[in-house]
Structure 1
Amino acid sequence: MSSINTNVSAMTALKTLSMTNKALEITQRRISTGLQVGEAADNAAYWSIATTMRSDNKALGTVQDALGLGAATIDVAYTAMNASKEVMDDIKTKLVAAKQPGIDRAKVQSEIKQLQEQLQGIASSASFSGSNWLSVDSTSADYNAIEQIISSFSRNNDGSITIGTVDIDITSISLFDADPVGKGVLEGGTSGTSTSAAFTWTQGSFANGDTLTLNIAVDGAAAAPVNIVVADAANFDLAALVSGLNANGTGFTASASDDGTSLVLTSDSTGATSSIQLTGVSTTQASAVTPATIGFTTMALGTGADTGGGVLEIDITNATSAQLDSYITRVDTMNEGVITAAADLGAIKSRIDMQQDFAKDLLDAIDRGIGQLVDANMSEESTRLQALQVQQQLGIQALSIANGNAQTILSLFRG
């Protein structure tokens, strides 16, 4: 049936052309954006996943930046630690050289002083972006004993986020601490631990009322003579002498050795070069009898093991041979601490480098995953575009033909 009110052919052709135009619009948008899923309306599930992953990838990019900053800070500290190790080797070499007879220790000390200042300079300059791990002040409000470097960002199955960090114990690598109580690697043990000198004791022949006089030098300076009056000659032993020294002595503390055969004098000085010498022993008789036998027959002069102070407190100008030995031991022990700290930093540096490589690979992997969800296949889209363009042209032609059918009805009324 032919009708001038309802052109079914034209309606069909128009609907087909509209569908073709809509498909052509989608294809052109995909080609221009490169995305098959460009908005939630295209595919809500894929769009949601891709949008979340893009956000996570931005956070992962920030993690990569944080790793770069951490790596730079570690590299600065590691470089300074290696330089410190070289200086410590030089100091130890100077101390060993000072053991040679006839060497001018004052001149050697001037060289050591320059090396000590170099250590301080290295530590204070080992700063990156305002962060210094080698020269610290543990009393500062912004001091952190554990420094953290953000190393990872991950989303858990329940949607929660986990931020991973690399923790660095600053107390084990800092060389100097401005806090007198805090101790850096080069500040050694408890500063001011006094040194001791042991003197072998032999019971003398005393009478009640005799005065035993001990002349003791502490830190190279003669102290006032210590006078001990013998109250009970028959029982005057090492314990009585210790008691008498502690009651009268200045600059040291007296005690007995574990085996009870030696008198041990420990300096009260907080200086790193404290020393004690028993320079003389004499007796004053209460009556005109044969002088008493001196109670000390053997004297072990000098100092015991040096356990106090740091590398900056070493001064060999007036050091005894025993003190030089203790200084060498001190420097060697601290140098081992520097080597251990450098090794720890090296291990952390290696881990950060690996984490940086992993973060980069992870970023690329996530980008590929997002692409598989939302990227358009340009080969398919270009083929589809060609087909839709042809369909569009045919649709326009079909609509034109359908609209031309009305003209044939008009010819029926021509006579």
Structure 2
Amino acid sequence: MTSLLTNISAMTALTTLKGINTQLDMTSNRVSTGQRVSNAADNAAYWSIATTVRTDNASLGAVKDSLGLGSSAVDTAYNGLNSILTDLQNMRAKLQTALTPGVDRSKVQTEIAAIQNKMKATADSSVSSGQNWISVDSAASNYQSQQQVVAGFSRNAGGTIDFSYVKVDVGTIKLYDATGTSITKPATEAQVFASQSLTGTAPFRPGAAAGTRGTADFSSAVVELSIKLNGGAGVTLKLDKASLTAAVADVTKVTTDEFIDAINNTIAATTGLTGNVTAGLDSQGRLTFKTTAATSTTKIQVDTTANNTIDVGFGAASATGAVATGTNASSTTGKGTLDSDVGTYTAPGMTGAYTVANFDISKLVGTKGDDDLRAIINAVDQAIGKVTDAGTKLGANKTQIDGQKTFVDTLMKANDRTVGILVDADVEEESTKLKALQTQQQLAIQALSIANSSSQNVLSLFR
């Protein structure tokens, strides 16, 4: 039936043409962009994954740049060290020549002074990206004794980002330090140790079956320890069934953790010990008692008592027991390998300490002068060993950085392939499809034209 009001054929042809045009637009976009997923509407899941991988690749690119800068800094420091190592070897040869009778040591010193100046100039000029790792100023606000080169980037399953680093210990490779201020080490508390691990003592049944091994039976056992602080009167620490019942799950199977907790609970309730002493286990599992104050005047003495029925590593009662004293804060010189004091002159007319960077042999005469010269030669030889060690460390850092650079580059390429698999279009397939859709579009337009002409055919019947 033909209707003047509704042209069903034209509507069908138009719907078909719209569908073809939609597919044609999509295919054209894929051909022009080279991607089958260019926005979230194309495929939300793939777009999200690809976006995250691209973001990670950008971060890896920054890591690669960081590794490049780190590699440059390591190379610069290594080249400086290597040059100075050659200078030190040359210096040692000249010093050995100066030992020969009749050699004018003042002339040799002129050559040595030139070498010393050259070494300092080499170290000062070993700068990369504003950083100098072999000639430093430890008092500067931007000084870091340990440099960290970003070497890796990762994202865990929860989305948390983490970085890995190549660490360069500048404090152990520096040759010169402009400031050389003293470094204060904190005072330490007094700490006494038992003679063996707690689980190795007989009461904790090291050879027993699995159910009781490493636990102690306190149903009838008693541990009494006399603790003295700073030479004062001893305070007795007692652990038995009565004191352990409320603190442990089973007094016949007291674990080492429960035992330590029980000791500390007893200390907290004992006048003279609370707040002054803590008990624990060291890395070897030995029972330890430590003072809470950290000064050289703090002293702790631990001894067993006559009523002690089991041994927890402190042995039998004695006159002195185990004694320990804390240490005061101390200072060490923070200079570099070449400007640290390595000896003191003994020759007539020479006073004070000297370093590899500033020693003077021009006035070293007589027996003591020869002794000083030999000491200087030994000091230079030791400096050669230290500089060699520093070069070894930098070489290891260099190898690690180069290996990481290769890995990051490989990882970035793998990520690019992952993104390509998810979002890239098959251009050959899409091009073929484009031609087919263009042909379908032309046919749909012709079909629509034919469907629209049918109403004109009806009107001709009324002419």
Identity over aligned pairs, percent: 47
**Aligned residue among 314, 334, 351 for 1:182:** 334
Looking at CA atoms only, which structure, 1 or 2, has the larger radius of gyration? 1
- CA drift at 1:159: 0.5
Structure 1, residues 155-200: CA drift from partner, whole Å, max 9, x if none?
Answer: 1111110111111110111100112331212234xx27657xxxxx
Which residue of 2 is the match for residue 155 of structure 1? 155
- CA drift at 1:408: 2.2
Q: Return the alpha-carbon distance in structure 1 between the equivalents of residues 38 and 109 of structure 2.
A: 75
Q: Return the alpha-carbon distance in structure 2 between the equivalents of residues 364 and 26 of structure 1.
A: 28
Which residue of 1 is the match for residue 404 of structure 2? 355
Given the alignment of the two structures, is residue 41 of structure 1 paired with residue 41 of structure 2, yes or no? yes
SS where residue 36 of structure 2 aligns? coil
- For the Cα contact (< 8 Å) 1:175–1:184, is it kept in 2? yes
Taking structure 1 as reference, are residues 92 and 346 closer, same or farther at Cα in structure 2, changes over 3 Å only? same
The total of aligned residue pairs comes to 307
Q: Return the alpha-carbon distance in structure 2 between the equivalents of residues 192 and 157 of structure 1.
A: 54
- For the Cα contact (< 8 Å) 2:342–2:356, is it kept in 1? no
Taking structure 1 as reference, are residues 310 and 192 closer, same or farther at Cα in structure 2, changes over 3 Å only? closer
Q: Return the alpha-carbon distance in structure 2 between the equivalents of residues 323 and 48 of structure 1.
A: 73
Structure 1, residues 343-373: CA drift from partner, whole Å, max 9, x if none?
Answer: 1111111111111111111111111100110
Which residue of 1 is the match for residue 136 of structure 2? 136
Kindly report which structure 2 residues correspond to 1:4-19, keeping only aligned pairs within 5 A, or say none. Answer: 4-19=4-19
Q: Return the alpha-carbon distance in structure 1 between the equivalents of residues 147 and 51 of structure 2.
A: 33
Q: Return the alpha-carbon distance in structure 2 between the equivalents of residues 184 and 42 of structure 1.
A: 62
SS where residue 41 of structure 1 aligns? coil
SS where residue 462 of structure 2 aligns? coil
- CA drift at 1:413: 2.5
What is the TM-score normalised by the length of structure 1? 0.72
Which residue of 1 is the match for residue 53 of structure 2? 53
Give the counterpart letter for 2:357 in structure 1: L
Q: Return the alpha-carbon distance in structure 1 between the equivalents of residues 380 and 338 of structure 2.
A: 8
Given the alignment of the two structures, is residue 271 of structure 1 paired with residue 399 of structure 2, yes or no? no
Give the counterpart letter for 2:68 in structure 1: G
Which residue of 2 is the match for residue 293 of structure 1? none
Q: Return the alpha-carbon distance in structure 2 between the equivalents of residues 389 and 345 of structure 1.
A: 65
Kindly report which structure 2 residues correspond to 1:66-77, keeping only aligned pairs within 5 A, or say none. Answer: 66-77=66-77
SS where residue 311 of structure 1 aligns? coil
Which residue of 2 is the match for residue 399 of structure 1? 448
- For the Cα contact (< 8 Å) 1:193–1:270, is it kept in 2? no
Which residue of 2 is the match for residue 382 of structure 1? 431
What is the TM-score normalised by the length of structure 2? 0.64
SS where residue 42 of structure 2 aligns? coil
Kindly report which structure 2 residues correspond to 1:13-412, keeping only aligned pairs within 5 A, or say none. Answer: 13-180=13-180, 181-188=333-340, 191=341, 194=344, 219-220=347-348, 271-272=352-353, 309-319=354-364, 320-412=369-461
- CA drift at 1:33: 0.6
Q: Return the alpha-carbon distance in structure 1 between the equivalents of residues 117 and 461 of structure 2.
A: 116
Structure 1, residues 251-276: CA drift from partner, whole Å, max 9, x if none?
Answer: xxxxxxxxxxxxxxxxxx9713xxxx
Q: Return the alpha-carbon distance in structure 2 between the equivalents of residues 128 and 144 of structure 1.
A: 15
- For the Cα contact (< 8 Å) 1:74–1:349, is it kept in 2? yes
SS where residue 149 of structure 1 aligns? strand
Q: Return the alpha-carbon distance in structure 2 between the equivalents of residues 192 and 2 of structure 1.
A: 113
Q: Return the alpha-carbon distance in structure 1 between the equivalents of residues 30 and 40 of structure 2.
A: 14
- For the Cα contact (< 8 Å) 1:137–1:143, is it kept in 2? yes
**Runs of 5+ unmatched residues, structure 1:** 196-217, 222-268, 273-308
Give the counterpart letter for 1:333 in structure 2: Q
- For the Cα contact (< 8 Å) 2:347–2:372, is it kept in 1? no
Taking structure 1 as reference, are residues 67 and 406 closer, same or farther at Cα in structure 2, changes over 3 Å only? same
Q: Return the alpha-carbon distance in structure 2 between the equivalents of residues 100 and 130 of structure 1.
A: 45
Taking structure 1 as reference, are residues 346 and 385 closer, same or farther at Cα in structure 2, changes over 3 Å only? same
SS where residue 153 of structure 1 aligns? strand
Give the counterpart letter for 1:311 in structure 2: V
Structure 1, residues 11-60: CA drift from partner, whole Å, max 9, x if none?
Answer: 10000000000100000011111110011100001111111111111111
Which residue of 1 is the match for residue 234 of structure 2? none
